[in-house]
Amino acid sequence: MAYRPRTAGSRAARERSRSNGRAKRAPPAAVAPATAAESVPPPTHVGHYLIGKTLGQGTFGKVKLGTHILTGENVAVKVLEKARIKEIADVTRVTREIKIFKKLEHPFLCRLYEVCNTKHHILLISEFASDGELFGYIVKHGKLREAVAARLFAQLIEGIDYLHDIGVVHRDLKPENILLMDKAAPDGGMAVKVIDFGLSNTFVQGSTLTTACGSPAYASPEMILRVAGGYNPRKSDLWSLGVVLFAMVAGCLPFEHDNTAALYDQILNARYRCPSHLSPACKDLISRILVIDPRRRFGAEEPRTSCSSDRPSAAATPSPCSTA
């Protein structure tokens, strides 16, 4: 089945998935939308930035295109409406996201430039990736050539390995949260930029986490099962990256079903089938990441080495948009 564009149903499912593991409370729909009296249009400028068109919609507001007045550089401006951040859990989530975002300094993770506060909004000003989401590319073009996918996957592994080393787990890795930016890699080629740290959390090395969250199709078996003692954050993120790799090279998801219970059954039994056009090496890599038992799953260093061992280090990553 081809990788499907977003639908209203899939958006609703993603919003439901984000509430997994939270304390019992009123449905998100009763909390998220601001009332007419509370709703305040975002500012048209803040600091040295002009704020323009809307790029996307989030739980607490919109993502807009910004432009630096002096340099003309484009930026992404995540506009959070304070009126929507009502519950203690939401305040904690936003505070944690900003704290984590400020810590990140890596070429394959989106960089936060500054945080601006107004009476009605919090604005996160960050890198703008002009080539859009990996999700959009897969929907439009079908799939990536293995050589290109391998390079981008190696970047993802490197970026998420760094994230884990500083004690942060992403927990919502998927093509929608991976942007593409031409000529942004250290080698001058295409670079990935991981975004959206709204479900991220910090952890102590060697510890486990218990909260189930993220997008169901990318969730690890141990997160779904809520195993006793919690899940290993590194291994859980790695499973999600394995699903992303599959989507890049196959043009579809390994686990997909409209019924959540049936979807989870596929994941818990690692029931998927690789397309026949994939190389033996690619199939082998996927099979060693999408392993049910996290103790037997690849460590981050292994897939990075596997992906990168057969290519010259000086070669620039070609743009996916220029390949078949």
- What's the pLDDT tens digit per position in 85-129? 989 999 999 999 999 999 999 999 999 999 999 999 999 999 999
Distance from C-alpha of 184 to C-alpha of 238, rounded to nearest angstrom: 24
pLDDT of res. 321: 34
What does the pLDDT average to over 198-222? 95
What are the residues whose beta carbons fall under 8 Å from the beta carbon of 111, sequence distance 6 or more?
104, 105, 126, 127
The residue annotated as part of the active site, out of 161, 172, 182, 237, is 172
Q: Is 172 a catalytic residue?
A: yes
pLDDT exceeding 70 applies to what percent of the chain? 81
Asked if the model's pLDDT at residue 30 lies above 60, the reply is: no
Give the mean pLDDT of the chain: 84
The class that CATH gives domain 31-127 is alpha beta
82 is in an annotated binding site: no
pLDDT of res. 188: 83
List the chain domain ranges.
31-127, 134-322
Amino acid at site 158: E
pLDDT of res. 20: 42
Distance from C-alpha of 119 to C-alpha of 224, rounded to nearest angstrom: 40
Q: How confident is the model at residue 186 (pLDDT cuts 50, 70, 90)?
A: confident
User: Which is the CATH superfamily of the domain at 134-322?
Assistant: Transferase(Phosphotransferase) domain 1 (1.10.510.10)
What pTM, to 2 d.p., does this model score? 0.82
| Pick from 48, 42, 58: nearest CA to 113 | 48
Total Cβ atoms within 10 A of residue 206: 7
pLDDT, greater one: 173 or 314: 173
pLDDT of res. 153: 97
| Pick from 121, 131, 111, 123: nearest CA to 48 | 123
Distance from C-alpha of 144 to C-alpha of 215, rounded to nearest angstrom: 22
| Pick from 186, 171, 41: nearest CA to 107 | 186
pLDDT of res. 94: 95
pLDDT of res. 257: 96
